[in-house]
């Protein structure tokens, strides 16, 4: 289908509840969305030193995968998204959680939000689905709604990492195979180098506190109007929590294994065997649960998930 606007693409993805779940982390499973949501929430919490005093904004909140796991720990959590369908799933999933609010965006602007109204902002798996002009406009808008001294966590695809490059090559090959009679999908995956992402953030007036880029994703932690002393203090705090924020080398490798399954390079059995042979730490367990959920979903193509393989 030919998607000309961000909202038409994401509304189509989210036209069913399971489609909405699939569009945020690929799993189409509520149990897995909760697992991955807790994982990402822990990264955001550590990156932003989140506390009960913070008004928090998530740009592109989707079904509230991350917000659901964070909202109870902060003063308020506000999710904004271009897709009304995503927001209606978020509304159901966040029902009953205190301090939560949602707004629909209609263009690349946060114009319904006042200047300097959030101490913490974050965006995950969103800036990688838009043109660079929109990415830059949003960074400016995020800065505008941040209070002086506020922090932001920003994430996008890392072209300058072997697995990020591999993911980008899938996009290139898909385009190469397409009939090319229409322009590319506006919501396709787009990629930055760490230098490029930092450049946009800097030109949006954000101060760089940390950049982690030894994974398929670039993770930036930035601030607004911090003094030199505050920057130094944040940088030393971030050095201490670095392992809670950044994706590990193993995470990047597991992601590569999963990509090979998704793109049909290897069968799921092979990746499951690899996972079973590893030391069972929380990362391996998360990927294993994720693979099994995906396999269940694709059992028509991949064959049934064998009982013996699930343990
Ligand atoms: C892959 S999902 C990620 C959702 C959520 N951040 C998460 O990690 O679970 C991308 C989300 O970004 C939203 N989105 C995409 N383009 C957008 C845009 N231009 N403005 C605002 N939201 C956008 C989509 O509607 C979708 O909910």
Residue with CA closest to ligand 1 atom 20: 82
Pocket residue to mutate for ligand 1, from 129, 141, 155, 219, most atoms within 8 A of Cβ: 129
Per-residue model confidence as pLDDT tens digits over 112-146: 999 999 999 999 999 999 999 999 999 999 999 99
- Ligand 1 centroid–CA 33 distance in Å is 15
**Cα 121-148-37 angle, rounded to 5 deg:** 15
Atom of ligand 1 nearest to the CA of 58: 6
- Contact between residue 219 and residue 47 where contact means Cβ atoms under 8 Å apart: yes
Q: Which residue in 129, 175, 88 sits closest to 6, CA to CA? A: 129
Indicate if the alpha-carbon torsion angle 53, 57, 61, 63 is positive or negative.
positive
Q: CA 200 to CA 202: how far, in whole Å?
A: 5
Residue with CA closest to ligand 1 atom 14: 60
Residue with CA closest to ligand 1 atom 27: 62
Q: Please give the C-alpha separations between residue 260 and each of 3, 17, 180, in angstroms, as whole numbers.
A: 26, 26, 25
Q: Which residues contact 91 (CB under 8 A, 6 or more apart)?
A: 102
- Ligand 1 centroid–CA 171 distance in Å is 19
- pLDDT at position 1 is 60
- Ligand 1 centroid–CA 159 distance in Å is 20
Per-residue model confidence as pLDDT tens digits over 225-247: 999 999 999 999 999 999 999 99
Q: Is residue 26 very low, low, confident or very high in pLDDT (cuts 50, 70, 90)?
A: confident
Residue with CA closest to ligand 1 atom 1: 24
Q: CA 128 to CA 155: how far, in whole Å?
A: 8
Pocket residue to mutate for ligand 1, from 21, 82, 137, most atoms within 8 A of Cβ: 82
**Per-domain boundaries in the chain:** 6-246, 253-310
Radius of gyration of the chain (CA): 19
Atom of ligand 1 nearest to the CA of 83: 25
Q: Which residues contact 247 (CB under 8 A, 6 or more apart)?
A: 212, 214, 215, 216, 217, 219
- Ligand 1 centroid–CA 20 distance in Å is 11
Residue with CA closest to ligand 1 atom 10: 126
Per-residue model confidence as pLDDT tens digits over 147-201: 999 999 999 999 999 999 999 999 999 999 999 998 899 999 999 999 999 999 9
Supply the pTM of this predicted model: 0.96
Pocket of ligand 1 (CB under 6 A): 6, 10, 23-24, 60-62, 65-66, 81-83, 86, 105, 108, 124-126, 129-130, 134
CATH class of 6-246: alpha beta
């Amino acid at each position: 289908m030919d998607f000309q606007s961000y909202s038409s693409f994401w509304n189509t993805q989210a036209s069913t509840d399971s489609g909405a779940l699939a569009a945020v982390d690929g799993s189409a499973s509520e149990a897995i969305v909760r697992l991955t949501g807790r994982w990402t929430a822990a990264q955001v919490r550590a990156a932003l030193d989140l506390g009960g005093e913070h008004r928090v904004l998530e740009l592109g909140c989707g079904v509230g995968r991350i917000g659901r796991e964070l909202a109870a720990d902060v003063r308020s959590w506000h999710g904004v998204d271009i897709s009304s369908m995503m927001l209606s799933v978020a509304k159901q999933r966040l029902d009953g959680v205190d301090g939560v609010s949602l707004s629909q965006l209609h263009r690349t602007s946060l114009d319904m939000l006042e200047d300097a109204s959030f101490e913490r902002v974050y965006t995950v798996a969103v800036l990688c689905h838009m043109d660079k002009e929109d990415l830059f406009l949003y960074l400016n808008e995020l800065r505008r709604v941040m209070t002086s001294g506020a922090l932001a966590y920003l994430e996008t695809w890392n072209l300058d990492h072997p697995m990020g490059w591999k993911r980008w090559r899938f996009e290139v090959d898909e385009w190469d195979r397409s009939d090319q009679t229409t322009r590319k999908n506006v919501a396709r995956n787009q990629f930055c180098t760490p230098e490029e992402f930092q450049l946009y953030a800097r030109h949006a007036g954000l101060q760089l506190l940390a950049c982690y880029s030894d994974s398929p994703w670039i993770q930036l932690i930035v601030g607004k109007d911090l003094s030199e002393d505050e920057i130094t203090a944040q940088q030393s705090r971030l050095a201490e929590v670095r392992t809670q924020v950044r994706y590990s080398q193993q995470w990047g490798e597991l992601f590569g294994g999963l990509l090979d399954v998704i793109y049909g390079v290897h069968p799921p059995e092979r990746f499951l065997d690899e996972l079973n042979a590893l030391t069972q730490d929380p990362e391996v367990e998360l990927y294993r649960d994720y693979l099994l959920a995906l396999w269940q979903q694709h059992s028509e193509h991949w064959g049934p998930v064998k009982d013996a393989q699930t343990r």
